[in-house]
Chains A and B, each alone.
Chain A
Amino acid sequence: MQIYLPIAEVSVNAFLLLGLGGMVGFLSGMFGVGGGFLITPLLLFIGISPAVAVATGANQVVASSVSGFLAHLRRKTVDIRMGTVLLVAGLAGSLLGIGVFNALRQAGQAGLVVQLSYVLFLGLIGGLMFQESLRALTRARRGAPPRRRIRPWVHGLPLKMKFRTSGLYISVIPPAGIGLLVGFLAAIMGVGGGFIMIPAMIYLLGMPTKVVVGTSLYQIIFVTAFATVMHAVTNQSVDMLLAVMLIAGGVVGAQVGAIVGLRLKAEQLRILLAVMVLAVAGKIAFDLVVRPAEPFSLLDAGGV
């Protein structure tokens, strides 16, 4: 069954979109990430233009994060205070990102920058996560307790604040910096930034793992919501019909994924996620260095 997308102006198979949404939702429910880093490249792959893919990806992440956030809120595993600090910085970063994205699109480099950011950040995060979870696996096998590390320089900074849910008393500068970066990436890559936020919260801020996912989702909702509205206003590139199809598949997939995720060990989950992140980064890097079959591309003035 073909479905015509009014903003993307292409006709795509409806079941393909539901399936894509479902698959990404399944993975995001399993790993506790928004799944934006998968949906945007997949949309590009099926022939949706970068502008529509990024904006609609952000819209889809809103739905999957709301679904996950509510589950965490019931379990009281959300640090609202920390989330709000990340959020305020995130919105500023997002505003900056939209401006940069528009300038790049005019210069014909939006596609390249989206691809490069994917390779860089997914490669970096995937690599770190893979290394870390391998170490954790061997440690678990030896029976040693996991260490909780906090970078000493974090404690030297001014503007300290108490975060009760996380059990932390630290400066607001590191979380604000992380929020800014994630907001910027959310706008440019059409992602929520959970794959950056989660490791940063654990390893840089030293937050307890159980509040990390909920807090990350809390801030992602607002940053991606803001990015969606900003893309809609400045680029008119949010395709609501496309988003609805992805969301319908995604919300169901996410809940199934969450159930499956409960049956796996945390270290195994992290290794799987790392492998997946590295695979996406590898595929995009491959496309950048291999001679394209068609060196020419068209940018319609219509905006999409």
Chain B
Amino acid sequence: MAAVLALLLLLALPAVAAGAAAETVVPGLSQSRVAITTNFDGSEILIFGAIRRDAPPPAGPPPDVVVTVEGPSFPVTVWRKSRRFGIWMNTGAVRVTEAPAFYAVATTGPLETILSATEDLRHSVSIPKAIRAVGTAATEDSPDYLEALIRLRSAANLYQMLEGGVSLTGDALIEASVTLPANLSEGLFTVRILLLREGSVVDSATRTIDVQKVGIERFLFRLAHAEPLAYGVLALVLAIAAGWAASEGFRRLRG
């Protein structure tokens, strides 16, 4: 629901911004869907765009651009181990109600200098804001847990900070590439292009990418969740058939 609202808000933004600023963003994507097949080993998404101006560009430095790619959000529980009775066990937990399964930020420069803190908060751009924005149950050490969530997902390439990952050619052409890792969940991914001037967002545009399991992957995943009993029985039949075939095969082989 929050994602839908955010999307509507973002779609409405360019119209508002266009009236105020002379610069708008026209987005484009190399692909609008990603298929997770059996040999899926990650995928590279090319994001490009153009800055359209009704008047000559304002004097001064060129604008900055931030591109974000956000996967579907799910609740996640972060567990912390500590030593009890001489062994390491899960002792504390923080439940994050909504955290994107994938989140990448690509920029033309260091994020802190090109984007002001208030604008970051308003548009939920940086990685901590993207999680925080949707709220957590607050405890005194919950920052540790949120840091751990970002650290673990960054290590798995699920959260990516790509400073300098966007190239801006001739003040007008935007180009960025984001690599989706192999350990990807399916869902609707949102791509945002934000145009910045002096730390503020002057225009933004979004596109979506549909990431779907296909073929046998889709079949098995759907079956496992929609018809768990049939799935379990199928898994059994396969196992029994394999065991029988191996036994028979080797008996014949040995004569």
A residues at B contact (CB < 8 Å): 1-4, 6-7, 9-11, 59-60, 62-71, 74, 108-109, 111-112, 116, 221, 225, 228-234, 236, 238, 240-241, 243-244, 247-248, 251-252, 254-255, 288-292, 294-302
Interface size of B by CB at 8 A reads: 62
**8 Å CB contacts to A: which residues of B83-117?**
83, 86-90, 93
Chain A residue contacts of B145, Cβ below 8 A: 296
In the complex, the answer to whether B243 meets A67 with C-beta atoms within 8 Å is yes
Is B213 part of the contact surface with A, judged by Cβ < 8 Å?
yes
Known: A59-B239, A236-B225. A108 touches B183 (CB 8 A): no
Q: A291-B88, A297-B81 are in contact. List 8 more A-B contacts (CB 8 A).
A: A7-B221, A10-B183, A225-B239, A228-B236, A234-B228, A296-B148, A296-B149, A298-B79
Chain A residue contacts of B82, Cβ below 8 A: 295
21 A-B contact pairs sorted by A residue (CB < 8 Å): A7-B224, A9-B185, A10-B183, A11-B41, A11-B42, A66-B242, A66-B244, A67-B247, A71-B251, A112-B89, A233-B228, A248-B242, A251-B243, A255-B249, A255-B250, A289-B86, A294-B148, A295-B80, A296-B78, A298-B77, A301-B77
In the complex, the answer to whether A3 meets B38 with C-beta atoms within 8 Å is yes
Cβ of B156 to closest chain A Cβ, rounded Å: 9
Chain A residue contacts of B143, Cβ below 8 A: none
Cβ of B48 to closest chain A Cβ, rounded Å: 27
A230 to B233, CA, bound (A): 10
In the complex, the answer to whether B39 meets A62 with C-beta atoms within 8 Å is no
A251 to B81, CA, bound (A): 38
Known: A4-B182, A70-B243, A247-B242. A296 touches B221 (CB 8 A): no
Nearest-CB residue, chain B, relative to A11: B182
In the complex, the answer to whether A109 meets B41 with C-beta atoms within 8 Å is no
